[in-house]
Amino acid sequence: MPYYRTDWLLPISQPPIRDAWLRTDGGRIVAFGHTRPGDFTADDEIDLGQVAILPALANAHTHLELSWMRGRIPETGDFSQWLRTVIELKARAGEQGDAVAQAIDDAIREARGFGTGLVGEVTNTLATSGALEEHGVAGVVFHELLGFRSEDASGIMAEAIARLAKQRRSDRLRHTLAPHAPYSVSPALFGLIRDALRGDPLAKSTVHVGESAAEIEFLKDGTGPCRTVLERMGRWDSSWLPPQSNPVGYLDRMGFLDDRVLVVHGTQFGDAELTQLAATGATLVTCPRGNVRTGAGSPPIEEFFDSGVRVAVGTDSLASVPDLNLFSELEEMRRLAPALPARLLLESATINGARALGFESEFGTIDAGKRDALVAVRLDGYVSSIEEYLVSGVDAAQISWVSTG
């Protein structure tokens, strides 16, 4: 029964505790508190020293499957250009051979090294499930579907369900379905995915929404780069009528948005969309570093939090970010929203992500009964506010696992 002592403990569910102790047993947190002199008499006491202990981080949105694209797509100010490059590269994944699987394995190791214990993995091929399982990473594998032509919807759905049926069932790694985005998925396919999810009360889903100006234009009047890409790929559906609305209104009318859905990006959202989204109970997942590099623009982080919507955070894929360090996403959020309490940013990378993924009873906070998935961050130099310190940039060399839960 390990008995830890640490400079700082961040339960997240309550304010940080200085000079703290923590006891775990059998993979679970048993108790913790502030150190009083004479507390430590146990033989198995482990003094962790000058570190802050926090719950394993939840990366609520990533595509580990695209890890082989790291460094291959230059930063751009033009989102549709970025999207075209990803589509072209994806088509050449077959030529990469073992490099795809190796990159997935390396990326999972890297994410673990940055203190990530829970993931929302979005995959078209399900190629990442086995590796996540092997590394003992918990989370949700979202099998992402694309298909803009209504006539293709039932075939796409049938194939996806058959692929999912072959996946190993596990409480730690759950599989579900997700539509890619409003400009790449037909209303018919959205409807089929929604109906499938309704049959499973625990299932989550996710969708990229409000990412680029091109998407907003497309939903308003059916024109712009999204349409050009669909036409060029032979995926345009001439029977589709633009909803003439913002993407939140569009998805809400289709009955797709509720508290089980992770809406990713929202870079283009204003107050109206955010209020609308908050009312659905959906979680908004921001990927701020990736948004800048893909040309989608900087997300309005402060407005996100002001709207009352639950905010979680993800790295997105190595196609758009240089590494899978979630602490660097927090640093970027802090840069974009200097007035927000650091506590809210830390919640977004822990309990909010855990809750959105359906793992809040096991992960996301340090509380008795939860898994002892605990990360230690070594504190270099003077720390005036521990919460501020943790959103100001933490690198891999500072991070270690106390226990992996």
- Whole-number Å distance between alpha carbons of 195 and 270: 29
Tell me the CA distances in angstroms from 4 to 33, 69, 147, 379, one per residue in order. 11, 40, 51, 17
Q: Which is nearer to Zn ion, 244 or 298 (CB)?
A: 298
Check: CB of residue 133 under 8 Å from CB of residue 173: yes
Binding mask of the shown chain, residues 286 to 325, with x at each position contacting Zn ion by CB under 5 A:
------------------------------x---------
In this structure, is the dihedral angle defined by the CA atoms of residues 111, 393, 305 and 292, taken in order, positive or negative? negative
- Rounded to a whole number of angstroms, the minimum distance from the CB of residue 51 to Zn ion is 32
Q: Is 276 helix (H, G, I), strand (E, B) or coil?
A: helix
Q: Which is nearer to Zn ion, 263 or 377 (CB)?
A: 263
Q: Which is nearer to Zn ion, 55 or 182 (CB)?
A: 182
In this structure, is the dihedral angle defined by the CA atoms of residues 43, 48, 54 and 60, taken in order, positive or negative? negative
Q: Which is nearer to Zn ion, 82 or 114 (CB)?
A: 82
- Whole-number Å distance between alpha carbons of 305 and 309: 6
Number of residues that bind Zn ion (CB under 5 A): 1
- Rounded to a whole number of angstroms, the minimum distance from the CB of residue 126 to Zn ion is 16
- Report the site for Zn ion in 150-209 (rule: CB under 5 A): none
- Rounded to a whole number of angstroms, the minimum distance from the CB of residue 380 to Zn ion is 32
Q: Which is nearer to Zn ion, 7 or 316 (CB)?
A: 316
**Closest residue (Cβ) to Zn ion?**
316
- Rounded to a whole number of angstroms, the minimum distance from the CB of residue 376 to Zn ion is 29
- Report the site for Zn ion in 348-387 (rule: CB under 5 A): none
Q: Which is nearer to Zn ion, 290 or 405 (CB)?
A: 290
Q: Which is nearer to Zn ion, 60 or 402 (CB)?
A: 60
Q: Which is nearer to Zn ion, 252 or 316 (CB)?
A: 316
- Rounded to a whole number of angstroms, the minimum distance from the CB of residue 366 to Zn ion is 29
- Report the site for Zn ion in 247-266 (rule: CB under 5 A): none
Contacts of 7 (CB under 8 A, 6+ apart): 18, 19, 20, 48, 49, 50, 51, 52, 379
- Rounded to a whole number of angstroms, the minimum distance from the CB of residue 132 to Zn ion is 17
Using the structure block, give the residue that is written with the tokens 């997105």.
Answer: 316
- Rounded to a whole number of angstroms, the minimum distance from the CB of residue 61 to Zn ion is 6
Task: Please give the full DSSP string across 287-316, using - where no structure is assigned.
Answer: -HHHHHHTTS----HHHHHHTT-EEEE---
What order of strands is seen across the sheet that includes strand 45-55?
28-34, 17-25, 3-9, 45-55, 373-378, 399-404
Q: Is 373 helix (H, G, I), strand (E, B) or coil?
A: strand
- Rounded to a whole number of angstroms, the minimum distance from the CB of residue 67 to Zn ion is 13
- Whole-number Å distance between alpha carbons of 387 and 383: 9
Closest to 20 measured CA to CA, from 10, 34, 30: 34
- Whole-number Å distance between alpha carbons of 114 and 214: 33
Residue ranges binding Zn ion (CB under 5 A): 316
